[in-house]
Amino acid sequence: METKKIKNRSEVLIYILAILGLFVVINYLATRGFKRIDMTEGKEYSISKATKKSLKGLNDIITIKVFFSKNLPPHMNKIVTDVKDILSEYQAYAGKNLTITWLDPAEDPESKQTAQSLGIPEVQLQTFEKDKAQVLNAYLGIAILYEDKKEILPVVQNLQNLEYDLTMAIMKVSRTSVPTVGVVKLDTLPELPPQFADKMDQSGKTEKQLEILYQRLRDNYTVKTIDLSDGSPIDASIKTLIVPGVVNLTERKVYEIDQFFMNGGKLIVLADAVTVSLQYGVNATPQESKLLDLLESYGVRVEKNLVLDAACGQVSIPQKVGPFTMNVPVPYPYFPRLGAHSFDKNSPAVATLSDIVMPWVSSLTLTVDKVDNASATADSSKVRAVVLAETSEKSWVATGSFNLNPQQQWAAPAGETRKHTVAAYLNGNFKSYFAGKGIPPKSAPGSDSLSQIKLEADPADANRTTVESNVNGQLVVFGDADFAAGQNAGASPNNVTMLVNVVDWLSLDNNLISIRTRSLKDRTIEADLLKEGSSKPAMIRLVNIFLMPVVFIAIGLFIFIRRKEPATTVVSNEKTEVSSK
């Protein structure tokens, strides 16, 4: 009997050891090959393929120090849990090349000093304990360190962008050089010392107009404003050049842009063939610019029209509501809205975009062969084009005289609605617009108009030769220069994202693009704002308000009735037995 007990204990011990061994093996395999099943539409609870690729490509050890306080308010616990989850997944894919350390500066003076030296601040959080509001000092920062480089996330609050911020920080500390992006200066305002610039109206300056774009680009690049007024060649260190319009571009400036492109630079042009002025009312004027001629010679003609679309944005106009005057949003077809269906799904720069508003945009006509896939044009001796973005099928164009009044009755001309191209990518061996021509002379000082007074040929140009063609040139053209400038950039943040994506596409690789735009989803119910009597939004609203509660009530009644039926049967059987006796 005693022997049998010993045998049973030995078997139980063996079973326990076997189970523990199995758990050890599973945990070891899990650290070597991480796998998570994420059924959300945007894969919100798992890192992207681009991040996995970046982590697996690390060839040296990068340190991540997480400065999180342990004593946080209860509503902050989810942030801690999510950060731990995403970092554990980073660790699984990076392996030994990523070291993660958790520190609590509130409990360790040395960690507190380290956090302060790295620029991670102590923040105040409000919490409620014992029915009293209290202020709690805490740390919520992350530092990414490699050699003498560092990238800091001072306060982690927006978990939606956490993966992008972390991956971008890892890429920035591990890369050997920072690409340079140039933005052509279009204004003619002179440079002023800071003490005077703050007191002057600088709203017309290129840097001020594109302030948000500059901020976004500086996260990844060195950004330079290129002043072409002196007629000097564009710095060869610039990888991608953005031309944010067509105004104030003399023939000499256009020549320098052309030669930058011919020498292997990447070119992005925001070309509005019709300029809208808000200074004295709303007026639209077709543009004459050598830059438009340059683009047409490359294979894309920017039409001198404005595209209108029933799928559009809105503008607020003052209207009387009883005794009050209120700003009421109304559809404005001159602001075409590009949904997810508007973008080329084979081009990584725009494939995941949606909800882009392009104000007063002109259509593009491609005069070269079109292909369906951007990668199909690589290393082609013949210039080919890919349509990156187009308006909806319910769009039309206005030419000649433009009525921009938002309170008019909108009606598309019968039989003239169709899709219009508003952004295109051209690739191949381009010929210079100035091939076989002389080098344009520099303009006279202070002259930037088309009717400028020209000087004699500059002696410095005597030894300069025009490059007449390039190899595998890459050009992106938008039919609008307003979508990423001024208040349009702030009102529609995705507009700037689209332009930054294109810069990344031409300057870096596609990794950042896929991470940045994975959370952009088109949730529009009805894009056509001019459609009358559409009942779809109202029906969805009624279903959410009334139908769903009715369904749950019906299910509850059904369950209640089913539960009562057996009890009734039992009682009736008992009554039958009593009567028979």
Question: What's the pLDDT tens digit per position in 459-475?
Answer: 777 788 999 999 999 99
Q: How confident is the model at residue 70 (pLDDT cuts 50, 70, 90)?
A: confident
Q: For the chain, what is the mean pLDDT? A: 82
Structure-token pair, residue 358: 């392009």
Total domain count, the chain: 4
Same domain, yes or no: 358 and 326? yes
* Residue-level pLDDT at 352: 81
Percentage of the chain modeled with pLDDT above 90: 40
* Residue-level pLDDT at 205: 87
In a domain, 385, yes or no: yes
Residue 429 has pLDDT above 90, yes or no: yes
In a domain, 14, yes or no: yes
Same domain, yes or no: 261 and 198? yes
Decide which of 174, 198, 216 is a domain's last residue. Answer: 174
* Residue-level pLDDT at 211: 93
Structure-token pair, residue 392: 């909806």
* Residue-level pLDDT at 581: 46
* Residue-level pLDDT at 303: 96
Residue 66 has pLDDT above 60, yes or no: yes
Same domain, yes or no: 165 and 199? no
Same domain, yes or no: 2 and 132? no
Question: What's the pLDDT tens digit per position in 281-298?
Answer: 778 889 899 999 999 999
DSSP code of 126? E
In a domain, 522, yes or no: no
Decide which of 156, 174, 192 is a domain's last residue. Answer: 174
DSSP code of 343? B
* Side-chain half-sphere CA neighbours of 338 within 13 A: 29
Residue 234 has pLDDT above 60, yes or no: yes
Residue 4 has pLDDT above 70, yes or no: no
In a domain, 19, yes or no: yes
Q: How confident is the model at residue 136 (pLDDT cuts 50, 70, 90)?
A: confident
Same domain, yes or no: 421 and 406? yes
Same domain, yes or no: 127 and 84? yes
In a domain, 237, yes or no: yes
* Residue-level pLDDT at 190: 57
Mean pLDDT of 380-407: 90
Residue 435 has pLDDT above 70, yes or no: yes
Q: How confident is the model at residue 99 (pLDDT cuts 50, 70, 90)?
A: very high
Mean pLDDT of 250-262: 96
Q: How confident is the model at residue 578 (pLDDT cuts 50, 70, 90)?
A: very low
> How far from 515 is each of 32, 166, 168, CA to CA, in Å?
24, 11, 10
Mean pLDDT of 104-112: 89
What's the CATH number where 86 sits?
3.40.30.10
* Residue-level pLDDT at 447: 44
* Residue-level pLDDT at 451: 44
Helix, strand counts (H, E) of the chain: 15, 23
146 closest CA partner among 61, 233, 219: 61
* Least confident among 71-75, 208-212, 358-362: 71-75
Same domain, yes or no: 168 and 209? no
Decide which of 174, 190, 206 is a domain's last residue. Answer: 174
CB-based contact 338:366 (threshold 8 Å): no
* Least confident among 99-108, 148-157, 560-569: 560-569
More confident of the two residues 562 and 377: 562
Same domain, yes or no: 383 and 456? yes
DSSP code of 5? H
Residues of the domain holding 550:
537-581
Mean pLDDT of 408-434: 93
Question: What's the pLDDT tens digit per position in 487-518?
Answer: 888 888 889 999 999 998 898 755 566 565 45
What's the rounded Cα separation, in Å, for the pair 288 and 268?
19
Same domain, yes or no: 501 and 410? yes
Same domain, yes or no: 204 and 149? no
More confident of the two residues 526 and 121: 121
What's the rounded Cα separation, in Å, for the pair 427 and 474?
5
What's the rounded Cα separation, in Å, for the pair 581 and 578?
5
Written as one letter, the residue type at 487 is Q
What's the rounded Cα separation, in Å, for the pair 253 and 257?
6
More confident of the two residues 390 and 534: 390
179 closest CA partner among 207, 218, 212: 218
* Residue-level pLDDT at 244: 95
Mean pLDDT of 253-273: 96
Residue 44 has pLDDT above 90, yes or no: no
Q: How confident is the model at residue 210 (pLDDT cuts 50, 70, 90)?
A: very high
In a domain, 531, yes or no: no
Residue 112 has pLDDT above 60, yes or no: yes
* Least confident among 88-97, 124-133, 374-383, 540-549: 374-383
Neighbouring residues of 429: CB distance < 8 A, sequence distance ≥ 6? 380, 381, 382, 383, 469, 470, 471, 472, 473
Written as one letter, the residue type at 100 is I
Mean pLDDT of 442-468: 63
CB-based contact 542:549 (threshold 8 Å): no
In a domain, 44, yes or no: no
Residue 243 has pLDDT above 70, yes or no: yes
Mean pLDDT of 374-392: 79
More confident of the two residues 484 and 566: 484
pTM, full prediction: 0.73
Percentage of the chain modeled with pLDDT above 70: 78
In a domain, 526, yes or no: no
Mean pLDDT of 117-138: 80
Same domain, yes or no: 95 and 28? no
Structure-token pair, residue 451: 């009717």
Residue 521 has pLDDT above 80, yes or no: no
Same domain, yes or no: 353 and 310? yes
